[in-house]
Copies of this chain bind each other. A is one copy, B any other.
């Protein structure tokens, strides 16, 4: 019966489904190539197939799932080549954001970027990887916003979300935390003195390094072998 949802969260049912499924893909709970059966998903979340179908449509448009007509949906399989192309795009997009940020950030934006960045040095010292990862995301988001270009922001965030599953392990390499901070520092310094070219180059290099650090883990593909089939009689 419509109107009463068991796990009441927010937005329409379709939105919830999109978030729920996207989350499971991005966190790696659902693995590339894994079958996404409409019926099972519907049962799993206690909704009908209609919103699940719509959600799969959205996710397909976002590139997180692949849909073959009449043949169901699977979690998008990213080839090594496509992955590389996404990391490269990401580097370019971040370079654009940094370059624009250097030229356009307001005083407030510059201040808070620098303050937060300096504060994060503590997280590096104490080796708080979890917290640093959260800060790292914030830091990059500031760059994207600082560019003051909504479309670039959208493209960048979209690309980042697509890469999310492949970046999980980036801080597991020893010493990556401190290196990351230093790379951020170069970007911040360039932005503070309004040097767009330097900021762009620093941002591009930063992402390229992350890309290499992540590529190591891309081939491995860890996480959950199960899920997806428990509601199959």
Residues of A in contact with B (beta carbons under 8 Å apart): 11-12, 14, 50, 53-54, 57-58, 61-63, 69, 81-82, 85-86, 88-89, 92, 96, 149-152, 154-155, 159
CB distance from A144 to the nearest CB of B (A): 12
> Are B155 and A88 in contact, with the CB atoms below 8 A?
no
A89 x B14 contact (CB < 8 A):
no
**Cβ contacts under 8 Å, A96 to chain B:** 92
Q: How far is the CB of A12 from chain B (nearest CB, A)?
A: 5
**Is the pair B88, A149 in contact by a Cβ cutoff of 8 Å?**
yes
14 interchain pairs, CB-CB under 8 A: A11-B69, A50-B50, A53-B54, A57-B57, A57-B58, A57-B61, A58-B61, A61-B61, A81-B150, A85-B151, A88-B149, A88-B152, A89-B149, A89-B151
As for how many copies of this chain the complex holds, the number is: 2
Query: Who on chain B is nearest to A150 by CB?
Result: B85
Instruction: Determine the chain B residues whose CB is within 8 A of the CB of A81 once the complex forms.
Output: 150
Choice from B58, B63, B82, B149 contacting A85 with Cβ under 8 Å:
B149
- The answer to whether A14 touches B150, judged by C-beta atoms less than 8 angstroms apart, is no
Nearest-CB distance from A94 to chain B (Å)?
A: 12
Q: Which of A11, A14, A63, A149 has the most CB of B within 10 A?
A: A149
